[in-house]
Amino acid sequence: MEVDLNIFYTSLLTVGIIIAVGFFAGKRKFIDERTNKMLVNLLLNIAWPAALLGAFPGEFKPELLQTFLYGAGGGVVVLGAAIIVSRLLFPKKKFTKNYFEYQFAFIFNNASFLGFPLVSSIYGQAGLVPYAGFILVFSLALFGYGVMLFREKFSWLEAAKTFLNPNVIAVLVGLTFFIFSYKLPLPVGNAVGYIGAMMTPMSLIVIGYMLSQAKLGAIFRKKVLVLTCLAQLTLGPLITFIVLKLIGAPSDVVHILVLIQALPTATSLGLFAAKYRGDNARESSASELVTISTIMSAVTLPIVMWAMFSLL
């Protein structure tokens, strides 16, 4: 899967423009916090599952199934390595208060709101197949280990419920349809396509809104947050590149997973802090980590991808 670096930069600029629209909408109060939460729920529970279901082609191809399996297997290896490194970088003894936020920020990237638009625009449907494999593992890890980081009491029964997550179900259903070359009836397939198409512009507008609400001058003075984000944006993709090359993953899978791990921290960090930490969310640095990481990625992401394209 050959990709021109100019296509990457063009896609990145397009993404930046749509984020700027969301930023403008937030500043002009076209979007408020209540509307933003509704959009996030719509994206995570309807638009993203529809996009993942439509990620698979209607006709079975063995080579695409192989890239799916590499995406899933790569996800296991990459996220497993990220979990280990996060515990070494941000041990509980040293970062007593917010160690779980720093670990979460290092492990989980914005594979949904930023990952899908970039992968689909740069690599097309062929790239969405290994992306779906990675997202299957990512979703299980996010709602399993990610929740465990925030909850003081954790039940593995709750972890098992992650298999009922809409995104996990969408990937498994899409994979089944793909293996058996089953095509949805045309009206249903068109509806799934239209709904999934909302994912790209709407997710980027949500990111733009989030940036419009940040107090940038104050949060960039917090050195520990800046260093955490810098480690996430540089060590994360470096580790991904090394472990995928060691297991002999195809270059296109390496491209896509390095791209995902070079993305800023997942926006779900702020959602998890509010949902599972309750009153403590006010004292949390979750939203600040997401904001800093998103802004810094505008500089680090092109550099990381340029380096990767030069090496492959």
Residue-wise pLDDT tens digits, 161-190: 777 788 889 999 999 999 999 989 999 999
Rounded alpha-carbon distances, angstroms, from residue 138 to 244, 255, 257: 16, 17, 11
Which pLDDT value is given to residue 56? Answer: 87
> Could you give the CA distance from residue 266 to residue 44 in angstroms, rounded to a whole number?
13
pTM of the model: 0.86
Contact indicator for 103, 265 with CB cutoff of 8 Å: no
Q: What is the structure's pLDDT at 284?
A: 55
CA pair distance 58, 174, nearest whole angstrom: 9
Residue type, 147: V
**Tokens (6 digits) for 110:** 């914005």
Determine the 3-state secondary structure of 265 from DSSP. Answer: strand
pLDDT at 282: 44
- pLDDT for position 187: 93
The per-residue pLDDT for 4 is 63
- Specify the pLDDT at position 274: 66
CA gap 57, 174 in Å, rounded: 9
Burial of 69 (0-12, 13-18, 19+ CB in 10 A): middle
Coil, helix or strand at residue 266: coil
Name the strand (E) or helix (H) holding 80.
helix 62-89
- Largest alpha-carbon pair distance within the chain? 57
Q: What is the DSSP letter of 264?
A: P
Cite the DSSP H helix spans in 142-278: 147-150, 156-160, 166-179, 186-197, 199-212, 216-219, 223-246, 251-261, 268-277
Q: Tell me the pLDDT tens digit for each residue of 66-119.
A: 999 999 999 999 999 999 999 999 988 887 677 888 999 999 998 888 888 889
As a whole number of angstroms, the distance between CA 209 and CA 158 comes to 32
Q: How far apart are CA 34 and CA 96, in angstroms?
A: 32
Listed as ranges, residues in the chain with pLDDT below 50 are 279-283
